[in-house]
Amino acid sequence: MTVEAILFYVFGILAVVSALGMVLNIRNTVASAMSLVVTMVSLGAIYLLLEAYLVAVIQIMVYGGAIVVLFLFVVMLLNLSTDEFPPGKQRVAKLAVVIVGVAILAQVLVALGQAPLLVAQPEAVPEGFGGYRQLGLSLYTDYVLLVEMVSLLLLAAIVGALILAKRKID
């Protein structure tokens, strides 16, 4: 086993375990959010192993940083206490979630076992693929329309948030 393979398994197991930790930690929402950070950072490490440096950095900055901070803000603002989750109902819900989750996992694993993920053979990656230059070029040439549409989406989100939170209504 090469060093890369060992590292892959270490980070892969870490990602799965902390993802489980996030889901199972219903009572302590902050611990749940912190487990999510571990998952995101492990995924970032796996991207590094694949030599996708830019994706790894974005993964850690956006998911590990911005999004989890947002989650923590929401957790703090809502200030949920454990009393607000009545234990009786939770057990049934947990059971249902576990059954559905395991069923979907089994289905995906069976499907993966039966079929190779990529039918078409991938072409060799050109020099500088996945770097800042390549990404910038393709964003502003091939995907220029979608970049503009994302800016409209952000505009809609900002206007929406302002209306729901700040607009004076008499």
Partner 1 sequence: MIPVPDLNLLVLLPIALVAIGSMVILMGEILLSRADTVLGREVTESFIGTVLAATAIFFLALTLYTSVVSFAAGGVQVFNPDHPMYQLDPFSSLVTAVVALSALLSCALSIAYLSELRINHGEYYALIMLSASGMMLMVAAVDLIAVFLGLELMSIPIYVLAGFDRRKLRSNESALKYFLIGSFASAILLYGMALLYGVSGGTSFDAIRAGFEVENPIAVVGLGLVVVGFAFKISMVPFHQWTPDVYEGAPSAVTAFMSVTVKVAAFAALIRLLAMAFGPLDESLENIFWVLSVLTIVVGNVMAIIQENVKRMLAYSSIAHSGYLMIGLVTGTIQGYSAMLFYLIAYTFMNLGAFGVVVALANRGNDCERIASFAGLARTRPGLSALMVLFMLSLAGIPGTAGFMGKFQIFMAAVNSGEIWLLIIGVLMSVVSVYYYLRIPVLMYMKEPGDESHRMEISSGEGAVLVFCALAVIALGLFPNSVPTLLFGDLDVLNWTRRSVEMFFGG
Specify the residue, 10 or 97, whose C-beta has the smaller distance to partner 1: 97
- Residue 50 within binding range of partner 1, rule CB under 8 A: no
Dmax (CA) of the chain: 69
Contact region with partner 1 (CB under 8 A), list: 70-78, 80-88, 91-99, 155-163 = 155-163
Nearest approach, Cβ of residue 1 and partner 1 (Å):
26
Q: Which of residues 121-150 bind partner 1 (CB under 8 A)?
A: 122, 137, 141-146, 149-150
Query: Judged by CB, which is closer to partner 1: 1, or 120?
Result: 120
Residue 135 CA to chain centroid, in angstroms?
Answer: 20
Taking contact as CB under 8 A, which single stretch among the options 22-30, 45-53, 79-87, 157-165 is the one that binds partner 1?
Answer: 157-165
- Of residues 59 through 98, those in contact with partner 1 by CB under 8 A are none
Summarize as ranges the residues that interact with partner 1 (CB under 8 A).
Answer: 107-108, 110-112, 114-115, 117-120, 122, 137, 141-146, 149-150, 152-153, 155-157, 159-160, 162-164, 167, 169-170
